[in-house]
Amino acid sequence: MAETVIVGISGGVDSAVAAWLLQRQGYAVQGLFMSNWDEDDRYCTIAEDFQDARRICKCLDIPLHRHSFVAEYREHVFAYFLREYRAGRTPNPDVLCNREIKFGVCLDHMLRLGADCIATGHYARVLHDDGNARLLKAVDANKDQSYFLHAITPQALARSLFPLGELHKSEVRRIAHEQGLPVFDKPDSTGICFIGERPFREFLERYVDRTPGPIETPDGHIVGEHEGLAFYTLGQRSGLHLGGRRGALQAPWYVALKDASRNALIVVQDPQHPLLLSDEIQVADVHWLTSPRATQFACAVKTRYRQADLACQVRIGETGQVGEQVRVTLDRPARAVTPGQFAVFYQGDECLGGGIIEDRTLRRPMAYNPRLLREVS
């Protein structure tokens, strides 16, 4: 009897091709469309996506289940998103969505429906080895999503299949077209799922209070006013409205620092300014998919999605403890390392795990000294 696999059908081309591939491999395939957001406005595409999911499953002749995880999403993902922004940090809710929802309560629901394993349209690979599962990067480096999957449990990973891990996106589109899947030319979704295509600041202002304050250069010159530190992230160059400042270079401005104690946003015009460069990173709540064999080891780290691997040295306290903190020393300074984002560790193609960036050590901390600024003012 064929193994039953339930595929998360989002209504997009990736999950549609994932289901087709598994069907071709001999699995008894079913689909599940999950609802994580219940807002009805012009930016929410859930109704359209569900109709696309129905068309996909009809084309493949597989059953489609539907379930709402709205309450769980608001409690475990959206509440975290708001807490982090209100604290002046920049969260990545997609990592939490995978851990808590897709490979958490949704996986449990799929198992109750009779699934032997589950599958999604993520671009990643899983290697099942002697009862253990190892998470690997996708063959398509431009689409690799292992960064977003690093926080799921080893038990969830062992139950998961990623059929697209060996394919490039162009091949996925080609397969969808050749097989007559009705979403072969549907554009990829972008951005955070509950925000969609709407202006990000417009959405955030509904939940986070505006607290205006000065925009300053590192030497204390006020060049503008910000709308609230929560609305900016390190390295950001758009939305500052600082063009044409007298005495300033005709060059873009970049957010280099958020001084919460003074509610000041520090900006620079040099994209390689010392305030944007970090030598060390403190990473908290570390979750390991593959337990380290030593308390200090060399590997690579990504401090944001689609960033090139950064060579580093990792130092931990007690090997393999869930939730521990580690200090990461970078071989070369990294730009715009952002508290609240995730640092994800790799050994070659294998994703070892990761955690939340708690703090960073600036390459030249004296490039900004708020005490001196107060004396000047």
55, 182 Cβ separation under 8 angstroms: yes
Is 193 catalytic? The answer is yes
CB neighbour list of residue 223: distance below 8 Å, 6 or more residues apart: 215, 216, 217, 242, 245, 248, 253, 267
Nearest to 255 by CA among 275, 278, 227: 275
Tokens found for residue 234: 């390190």
Single-letter amino acid, residue 335: R
CB neighbour list of residue 240: distance below 8 Å, 6 or more residues apart: 215, 224, 226, 232, 253, 255, 267
CA distance 215 to 259: 10
106, 115 Cβ separation under 8 angstroms: no
CB neighbour list of residue 99: distance below 8 Å, 6 or more residues apart: 151, 152, 153
Among 193, 299, 312, 351, the active-site one is: 193
Among 97, 106, 312, 351, the active-site one is: 97
Is 351 catalytic? The answer is no
Tokens found for residue 314: 């990792």
> Cα torsion for 360, 362, 363, 368, to the nearest 10°?
170
Cβ burial of 307 (10 Å; 0-12, 13-18, 19+) is middle
CA distance 72 to 97: 10
Q: Which residues are catalytic?
A: 97, 193
